[in-house]
Chains A and B, each alone.
Chain A
């Protein structure tokens, strides 16, 4: 720390790194550039959608559709963002969503109603998160391995519970939440839940000690420990949080699809990680934003929507999706290069 506060060399947004408050401001600004570039990508997609399918794409119903479809994976991604910022990874999110949804719909077939389904979804999610957290924080397991084990066992358990069957939900109060009648000021309830989770996630990350500890653990766990942070407990909470998000997502998925199936949440882990990375979260930890992740999710969902509206086949869709991931990350690196 002997380096004096030096003026920026080339670009205006480069804040001095040694002094705490300006560095903060610099990070904020960089984050903004990143956010702007993501918004730019999203805007470009909207233009493409508007040009190729003006009537179908620029339609209130379509906006509702895109946001609804972003909700389930979006909630999962918020939890995932916290875990990745802390330097961890959660590969089990999709499997937890599957397990929570089939367990909750098993309850549904036994007439426990709305409360039973919601409670079971969240409880199973939190329970799986707790196991992940304990294994990682107190069992000393690498997150990759612990959550990989959870992925395998939760999927297996989900298959065992369902026997490969599709468990159809018949509880009207749950199903009604997916209908048009339930929209609040034109906003589907699922989207409202997604919005609330996003806002809480943003507040938690940016306005609380919990958020600062998360960033600190991800930046340098040893330094965080020396600074008096209970790193293990923090990690436990983070995987609990991710599990909680999965439980909520499972409930949303039950509303959306009206059923529980062991194949639910397939590849959510990769979608959530991809959305977070596109959103500017460092896979090595220490940096990331909720807004970025949510924009990442919206970009993905919008792409899928445009592809479907233009009747592109799935092979073409996959190729284009890969290309757009690369493009989005490249654009970001150029606009928000950090040194």
Chain B
């Protein structure tokens, strides 16, 4: 056995290890709206070495900046712990392939599983299977169909993204009568896209002077962002604000805006890409803010998995156990606070 076991035991529920930079408040209700600002190097749970834990990690194919950042966050956080071994499967967008990978991890008898399913509903069964095999599951981001399939869910707030983007735009356009906003959405066949739109629409209801005049869906890719935005700009000769669901497709959208020579509106992005943060900081274009969907949730998932494996709670909480669900806050990052978030930006 590794020597960490015989060395100092971690304090039982990790209550002493409140990390200075990490403001983590868990949630215990069904209506989670809590805040986690994970500075990248501040583990949430007790970081005293404890029992060796093998964490299995199964994510989707990292063919997108945010998903790649998820993998990187998980890996780098696991490396920080001497008592954690990470068994990582190759990402796949194919449901059947991902089920196979998770079953392999179950057969390897990992202590805890972290699963970011390509499709949460489709992977519910294998989540149940793992739980029945006695392996607690941390369900990351895309949620399983039933709480029986996971011990803890941690993810972002898609509805909240739309809501906060809508409120930000609403406040900015408060003095504008008959303001027009447009929306460049993400992949329309994903539920998260519909949630983001719903949140946005609900927020705009608070501002009777604002009307959403157009919405087009892109594919979360630069290419589609450019193409759809170019069309939107042609269709809408005048509008006051744009909400774009995703900073990756936002690279293309900004390119289309530049090509059309338009600068008569404000733009709010989504997710928190490094390029978006840099543009916001420079403040020489239409992009004024982005609504976070932090990939740091993967690092937090590793923290939670480790805490589960070692029977710890979460620092800063009175609870003896880790919470059943954690929803990250979709903070609005604009010029005033961009420096604080710069380090979490993904390429």
Contacts and interface: CB of A to CB of B under 8 A. Distances in A.
Interface of B: 61-65, 67-68, 188, 213-217, 219-223, 225-228, 230-232, 234-235, 237, 248, 251-252, 255, 258-261, 273, 275, 347
Interface string A45-58: 00000000101100
Interface in A116-161: 159
Contacts of A168: 251, 275
Given A164-B64, A314-B217, A178 B223 contact: no
A266 B219 contact: yes
Nearest to B213: A311
Contact of A257 (B63, B222, B235): B222
A158 to B, nearest CB: 9
B259 A179 contact: yes
A253 B223 contact: yes
A179 B258 contact: yes
A59 interface: yes
B255 A165 contact: no
Contacts of A214: none
A164 B68 contact: yes
A263 B259 contact: no
Contacts of B261: 180
6 contacts: A56-B234, A257-B223, A259-B222, A261-B222, A263-B63, A266-B223
A326 interface: no
Q: Interface of chain B, helix or strand or loop or mixed? A: helix
Interface stretch (A61-69, A221-229, A327-335): A61-69
Chain A interface size band reads 35 or more
A313 B217 contact: yes
A166 B250 CA distance: 11
Contacts of B213: 311
Contacts of B259: 178-180
A65 to B, nearest CB: 6
Given A53-B235, A180-B259, A263 B64 contact: yes
A140 B192 CA distance: 46
Contacts of A69: 227, 230
Contact of B65 (A164, A264, A305): A164
B62 A308 contact: no
A164 B67 contact: yes
A65 B234 contact: yes
Contact of B226 (A61, A256, A263, A265): A256
A62 B235 CA distance: 9
A263 B112 CA distance: 32
Contacts of A259: 222, 251-252, 255
A279 interface: no
Given A164-B68, A263-B63, A304 B231 contact: yes
Instruction: Give 3 closest A-B pairs by Cβ, nearest first.
Output: A308-B231, A164-B68, A164-B62
Given A61-B234, A65-B231, A178-B259, A262 B223 contact: no
Contacts of A258: 222, 226, 251-252, 255
A166 B347 contact: yes
Given A263-B219, A266-B219, A309 B235 contact: yes
A13 interface: no
A256 B228 CA distance: 13
A315 interface: yes
A56 B230 CA distance: 12
Contact of B68 (A163, A253, A310): A163
A68 B233 CA distance: 15
B191 to A, nearest CB: 14
B113 to A, nearest CB: 22
A257 B226 contact: yes
A308 B258 CA distance: 19
B68 to A, nearest CB: 3
